Structure 1
Amino acid sequence: MKIDFTLKKLHLKETFSIAYGNYNHRDALLIELSHHKCKGYGECVAIDYYQINLQDFIFKLKAIKHQIEAQKIIHPKDFFKYLSDLNLHSFLLSALDCAYWDLFGKLENKGFLELNNLPSENLVESSITISIGDIKEQINKIEKSDWTQFKVKCKGLHKNDIEKLLQLNKNIALDSNASFTDEDCIWLQENVDIQKFSYLEQPRPIDCYKILNKEGFANWMADEDCQNIDSLEELIPYYKSINIKLMKCGGLTPALEMIKKAKALNYKIMIGCMTESTVGISAGCLLTGLVDFTDLDGANLISNDYATGNFVENGKIVLSEKPGLGIDLK
């Protein structure tokens, strides 16, 4: 097996504004694993909030390159166990895990769904993100969109804006990126109309969730508070829903285990994404038959997608039905 890795720059179609800042591009690291003329692809991106330095990842990959290339082709779950002993950041671990699933499936001429006996029908539609802006501009984007599910970004609580969004009679979620106060959260979870929002994502900064009451009217969804499977039990009294992102939890292999446990604990589950190309989105799409919400619009927000595979069209998940994760580079 051979490994190659390349830095990419993902250019956004328009400035993306969230509570953490404004962005016009994201830096990405593409990983390619190859064997017997088959190539598997995985990706991770640099996110300021998580203090990701892709140069550190490249340095690590150079250090373990010979070890990885010496590995025989084994089942992806066994390969993940091997990777778990290398002390890798979850973002890098995810890129390697996904690339190996893609390669293994192509070598076996089987898709990820077949390899894991997962559903390919009744896939949950994805939301499209409406970035922070004047409420009139946000509503205009929603009304003009061909999508049917929306995630509206906000910075702090503006009650008049909340009322205007509720009047739209659309499928809308809120994501404050941890910018709500304790008082905001109390008002939201005690307001009966708030249950009209499909979910309210990461209302408070990480580890500041104890003001939340999942028995209230707000469907609180943990994002940054829910990094991996170890987070689930502690969050039970506070959150009804969780956002699983492959880069947060370490890839497809741990995501499958996380979904299984989250269902046993009666969470509603979302498969989410960062700003990613079709390489990353293709992996997430394959889990959408297992969850309650989907937010996989990352590749739709960039202007220079460099891959083809599974994709999202006006919210609908379209699977390539090709082996592995279905990914090819353009």
Structure 2
Amino acid sequence: MTRLMQTAVEHFPIAGSFTISRGSKTTASVVTCHISEGVFAGMAECVPYARYGENIDSVLTEIETIRPRIEAGIDREELRQMMKAGAARNAVDCALWDLEAKTTGNRAFTLAGLAEPAPLTTAYTISLGEPEAMAAQTEQYAHRALLKVKVGTADDATRIRAVRAAAPNSAIILDANEGWTEANLAYHFEVCAESGVALIEQPLPAGHDALLSSIRRPVPVCADESVHKTEDLPKLAGLYDAVNIKLDKTGGLTEALRMRDAARALNLKIMVGCMVGTSLGMAPAVLLAQGADFVDLDGPLLLARDREPGLRYEDSLVFPPLPALWG
């Protein structure tokens, strides 16, 4: 049966602003991919990320380039081999998962060979700001089990201590977004250990990972910008304790599942993260995150409005997607 593909760009306002070491934004812009086959249709979204050389136009062009193969019936494995890892492939790959679920009458987790998913404890992100502002924001969410705190300045000690004081009972992931340096790395590590931080995400710029081999790591360290696909993992084993798997980096659920299994084989802990997007982007990641050591799927919670229907969130829990959303 002939397939038809459509793409669209949607913009969702962020509640306030979202700030990391590289800058701030007030809108989440997503590209959606809609693939239909007769009366059935699969849909997914991706978030182009400038840090990886992506923008809305480049992602749309990538998807359009593969249109003839998609409409001719390409499968996910062929797609993985034909498109590079990144946001464009993620939108197509996850739309194909959704389409297969609908055409076969099976849930996506069954197609992936996974057990029925359960609710997960997700982090909630605290944006980078002055220590007093970060502490005030943290106080609002101190009831949450897990917080992800954005840092990445030359001196984050005051920020780390202020956040810990504001949320004494929450587990904390600290995300430096490549913002630390060889000069301040050891100092920040010691402050993190003193403050009971559970995980430090991407402290150094990608490509500077070797520095981690020559320094004591008193807190587990997680790769994010340094790891995109399965082939990146072997060179990071021994330098990092965990890897952050994001569908927009891996280029979809198909590659992400391979990467998860390969990371576990290398004794790396698993974090499943996200860009700032809607429930449609988080839904396939909820399947990937089953059994993960850390889950950061709070994208919709950072928006002023989500798409309908969306994922169900209750405090720190995110529930598996219903078929009306995805999969």
Question: Residue 174 of structure 1 contacts residue 201 of structure 1 at CA under 8 Å; is this kept in 2?
Answer: yes
Name the structure 1 match of 2:280: 279
Map Cα deviations across residues 38-92 of structure 1 (whole Å, 9 max, x no partner): 22111112222112122233234334323321217xxxxxx12221343445211
> 1:233-248 maps to which residues of 2 (within 5 A)?
233-248=234-249
1:12, CA displacement in angstroms?
0.7
> What secondary structure sits across from 1:22 in the alignment?
strand
Name the structure 1 match of 2:115: 119
Question: Residue 12 of structure 2 contacts residue 306 of structure 2 at CA under 8 Å; is this kept in 1?
Answer: yes
Question: Residue 60 of structure 2 contacts residue 88 of structure 2 at CA under 8 Å; is this kept in 1?
Answer: no
Question: Residue 148 of structure 2 contacts residue 173 of structure 2 at CA under 8 Å; is this kept in 1?
Answer: yes
Aligned length: 320
Question: Residue 126 of structure 1 contacts residue 295 of structure 1 at CA under 8 Å; is this kept in 2?
Answer: yes
Map Cα deviations across residues 105-124 of structure 1 (whole Å, 9 max, x no partner): 11111112222232345544
> 1:9-24 maps to which residues of 2 (within 5 A)?
9-24=11-26
Two-structure CA RMSD over aligned residues (Å): 2.2
Percentage of identical aligned residues: 27
Give the whole-Å Cα distance in 2 for the aligned partners of 1:174 and 1:313. Answer: 23
Q: 1:13 to 1:35 in 2, by over 3 A?
A: same
Give the whole-Å Cα distance in 2 for the aligned partners of 1:303 and 1:160. Answer: 29
Name the structure 2 match of 1:144: 140
Q: Structure 1 residue 159 and structure 2 residue 157: aligned?
A: yes
Question: Residue 26 of structure 1 contacts residue 46 of structure 1 at CA under 8 Å; is this kept in 2?
Answer: no
> 1:137-216 maps to which residues of 2 (within 5 A)?
137-145=133-141, 146-156=143-153, 157-167=155-165, 168-169=167-168, 170-190=170-190, 193-194=193-194, 196-213=196-213, 216=217
Q: 1:16 to 1:290 in 2, by over 3 A?
A: same
1:27, CA displacement in angstroms?
2.0
Amino acid at match of 1:43: E
1:191, CA displacement in angstroms?
5.8
Give the whole-Å Cα distance in 2 for the aligned partners of 1:118 and 1:36. Answer: 27
Give the structure-2-normalised TM-score: 0.90
Question: Residue 310 of structure 1 contacts residue 327 of structure 1 at CA under 8 Å; is this kept in 2?
Answer: no
Give the whole-Å Cα distance in 2 for the aligned partners of 1:54 and 1:190. Answer: 40
1:215, CA displacement in angstroms?
5.8
Map Cα deviations across residues 176-220 of structure 1 (whole Å, 9 max, x no partner): 111111132222445683572111111011111222248621211
Give the whole-Å Cα distance in 2 for the aligned partners of 1:43 and 1:243. Answer: 19
Amino acid at match of 1:147: R
Q: Which moved more, 1:257-266 or 1:54-63?
A: 54-63
> What secondary structure sits across from 1:308 in the alignment?
coil
Amino acid at match of 2:220: N
Q: Structure 1 residue 257 and structure 2 residue 276: aligned?
A: no
Question: Residue 45 of structure 2 contacts residue 280 of structure 2 at CA under 8 Å; is this kept in 1?
Answer: yes
Question: Residue 20 of structure 2 contacts residue 150 of structure 2 at CA under 8 Å; is this kept in 1?
Answer: yes
> 1:219-234 maps to which residues of 2 (within 5 A)?
219-234=220-235
* Structure 2 alignment gaps of length 5 or more: none
Q: Which moved more, 1:189-198 or 1:37-46?
A: 189-198
Q: Structure 1 residue 90 and structure 2 residue 83: aligned?
A: no
Map Cα deviations across residues 242-265 of structure 1 (whole Å, 9 max, x no partner): 100001011101111111111111
Question: Residue 124 of structure 1 contacts residue 293 of structure 1 at CA under 8 Å; is this kept in 2?
Answer: no
> What secondary structure sits across from 1:196 in the alignment?
coil
1:287, CA displacement in angstroms?
1.8
1:161, CA displacement in angstroms?
2.8
Q: 1:314 to 1:274 in 2, by over 3 A?
A: same
Name the structure 2 match of 1:75: none
1:311, CA displacement in angstroms?
4.1
Name the structure 1 match of 2:124: 128
> What secondary structure sits across from 2:209 in the alignment?
coil
Give the whole-Å Cα distance in 2 for the aligned partners of 1:211 and 1:195. Answer: 23
Q: Which moved more, 1:302-311 or 1:286-295?
A: 302-311
Give the whole-Å Cα distance in 1 for the aligned partners of 2:40 and 2:88. Answer: 21
Give the structure-1-normalised TM-score: 0.89
Give the whole-Å Cα distance in 1 for the aligned partners of 2:85 and 2:268. Answer: 26
Question: Residue 307 of structure 1 contacts residue 327 of structure 1 at CA under 8 Å; is this kept in 2?
Answer: no
Question: Residue 33 of structure 2 contacts residue 95 of structure 2 at CA under 8 Å; is this kept in 1?
Answer: yes
